[in-house]
Amino acid sequence: QVQLVESGGGSVQAGGSLRLTCATSGYIRHVNCMGWFRQAPGKEREGVASIYVHDDTPYYADSVKGRFAISQDSAKNTVYLQMNNLNPDDTAMYYCATIPRVPRGGACSLDEYYALGQGTQVTVSS
């Protein structure tokens, strides 16, 4: 069974940065995509970023484009989310995820996931 363990969350002021880390229990060779979802209180869970693990192609939600960057280190079985220029709307629990590819085009989904970690809290104050 795959285990996803997130770390790196915390409290920052608006304009600040954080880097989230997702450690996997082992390299998931049958999974083509990894990524991050988030959920704020009272809101639905939303996809933030995903990455095609075989060539590092990233995909981003419009709300984070230009501010967040997803990357991976396959040798360390780790996925990262660098978050810059944070604002209070980014406050949420962030979850690492294994993710399917969309049926057409092959992009990594930002709408669905196979499995989530337990999450790490990110709080941005104004």
The DSSP annotation for 50-76 comes to EEETTTTEEEE-TTTTTTEEEEEEGGG
Which token pair is 83? 């978050």
Contact 88, 123 (CB under 8 A): no
Residue (of 48, 45, 13) closest to 34 by Cα position? 48
97-115 confidence digits (pLDDT tens): 999 988 887 899 999 999 9
74-105 confidence digits (pLDDT tens): 888 899 999 999 999 999 999 999 999 888 87
Gap between the Cα atoms of 93 and 116, Å rounded? 12
Gap between the Cα atoms of 40 and 29, Å rounded? 31
Is the predicted pLDDT of residue 29 greater than 70, yes or no? no
Gap between the Cα atoms of 108 and 52, Å rounded? 6
4 vs 105, residue with greater confidence: 4
80 vs 30, residue with greater confidence: 80
Q: State the pLDDT at residue 75.
A: 83
74 vs 40, residue with greater confidence: 40
